[in-house]
Amino acid sequence: MTLRWLHLRLAAPLMAFGDVAIDHVGPTRDFPSASALTGLFGNALGWRRADGAAHQALQDRLVFGALIARAGHLLTDTQNAKLEANDRGWTTWGRPDERAGATYDSPHRRRRDYLADHECRVVLRLLDVPDGPSLDALAQALDRPARPLFLGRKPCLPCARLVGGWVEGANARTALAALGLAGRALWPAEDGGGTRRDVADRRNWRTGLHGGSYPVCEGEIA
């Protein structure tokens, strides 16, 4: 059976597809995660961070593959900030983050990785359910988003229209091949071929924590 897939072009001077973060280090992967795509669509639709059920339902419906059309290079941003006793930090949980302890001599450090001059193509469809946005509604939201869109982190603004059109294919792997581009790609494991591995790309949108891994295959699209 031939299926219809939404084609996305993810290109920007800087982008970040967040990987598993440990301590102050925020790495990036080469391919977008299911949680990153869910967040992108949620932002375009005007959903709030508190709309966990809507985000979760959308993530559970996503079926996608991704291909690196242009491999960028890794750029690491090291941030150091000296926080005084009365300084507060913005948070996403509704109250400011305050320092504890009596010493303020050591700076607050964190490291964030970005992909510079990277371009990734995505083919995507949704599992059919009675409720929730349609694939056409998602495409329209990306063209007329409720809020400014970014690829991974807020400084990462796309440099071109995100919607690249539509392609057809029996599965994500054949839909990627229909783009007519060559490169390293990732697709669901049930499509077969390539090298199978698990990726930790799911988010539990109700708790805001890691939501599990998903089996994928990685290989070359000729």
Question: What CATH number is given to the structural domain containing 13?
Answer: 3.30.70.2660
Gap between the Cα atoms of 97 and 112, Å rounded: 20
pLDDT for the residue numbered 46:
96
Q: Is 113 inside any structural domain?
A: yes
CB 68 within 8 A of CB 186: no
Q: Is 208 inside any structural domain?
A: no
pTM of the predicted protein model: 0.87
Residues 22-75: tens digit of each pLDDT: 777 788 899 999 999 999 999 999 999 889 999 999 999 999 999 999 999 999
Q: Is 97 inside any structural domain?
A: no
Could you tell me which of 195, 199, 196, 192 has the C-alpha nearest to residue 174?
A: 192
Q: Is 129 inside any structural domain?
A: yes
Token code pair at residue 205: 């949108």
Q: Is 196 inside any structural domain?
A: no
Range of the domain at 146: 3-80+108-185
Angle at 59 between CA 222 and CA 15, to 5 degrees: 60
| pLDDT lower than 70: segments of the chain | 83, 85, 88-93, 99-106
Q: How many structural domains is the chain composed of?
A: 1
- Torsion angles phi and psi, residue 14, rounded to 5: -135, 140
Q: Is 8 inside any structural domain?
A: yes
